[in-house]
Structure 1
């Protein structure tokens, strides 16, 4: 595949692939990243890839990568929720010489939540503090379940970044 053919393929299929990814993932940024990943892979493998039907190949790639993204995201969200649940009300280390306590992690998480858009924060708190399911939150807020998933994922990403920064500071202090 030469550069002109690649450019023509990109221009012809980009918006269709984006639509597929966005419909599946529900995030503009993630959909754009996924489409970019598809075209990067196509370009990298241009010399040895044998593609009989370009449209079929690209659509299948968009669907597969979107589903992989969702699986990865759900695993990360589940792991973060387990971490938050485990850390709540417990010291990070039992040894008294370690300065980092769960209170500091919780404070960092609260600060991260305070910086979120109001709707995202409210949805996250309905799930984590009120115990509402995604379906119940969707009904309560008038949003789709997919929109609720998006807001909770956004909150979890902010929390994970905040916790990671706090933990890195702890590691730096104790090294």
Structure 2
């Protein structure tokens, strides 16, 4: 023998049966999205079922619009928050820490450069590193170290030649 519905359950079944299609159409026009409209139509009835004290509904469509309207407002607020979060993520700089593979390549390259510069005078190594690692121009290096541009050029020539010999000799 099937269970007998209470009068409240019968009223809720009738509300769903008589107004679900209309509510879905209203939500679809409001949201311009069939999937979201279907979800919010169901959520509207779930919200009504969750009320502790069912009330007498005199104007079912007005009642449904009131409940669904609150859900629509929450939906739009959530979408705005998600969009703001995605924009904030997009505005973040690229991660500062290089990957493990990149770090190993950098360390290997630095070790190779160190080997290339071994045996050179300290001033020549410093000029080379200021140029290649710090990105300073020859005139900037000359000013920083109190040298002439010609001395910086000769030191760079010597450092590059040493690297070339270490790599290709």
TM-score of the pair, normalised by structure 1: 0.47
Q: Which structure has the larger Rg?
A: 2
Which of structures 1 and 2 has the larger relative contact order (alpha carbons within 8 angstroms, sep 6+)? 1
